[in-house]
Amino acid sequence: MATPEWAIRFWVTIFNGRKPKMADNKKKRGARDRATVAGNEGYEVRYFALKHNLSSGQARGLIERIGSNRNKLNAAASKLKSKRRTR
């Protein structure tokens, strides 16, 4: 059975043509690790950008400006999206 075309496009978009990397630290999988976005990890930036329909540059800019707190970043991304809709 062949892989559906949408699945190939999805994985190419997420991993930019590269194989997925292992987790940065397998022992840190709890809520504290999920509460932050690692700006230096490309896959986390790409996921955050895809989730909020932002470019990678916009996502990195938010992370640099606001910090790595996921709740604050989600709120800022929502605010950014609402500003784009009103224009």
- Domain extents for the chain? 28-86
DSSP 16: T
CA angle 79, 15, 32 (to 5 degrees): 55
End-to-end Cα, the chain, rounded Å: 46
Q: How does pLDDT run across 31-76, given as a tens digit for each residue?
A: 666 778 888 888 889 999 999 999 999 999 999 999 989 999 999 9
DSSP 69: B
What the block records as the tokens of 46 is 């790409």
pLDDT at 21 over 60: no
Total Cβ atoms within 10 A of residue 61: 14
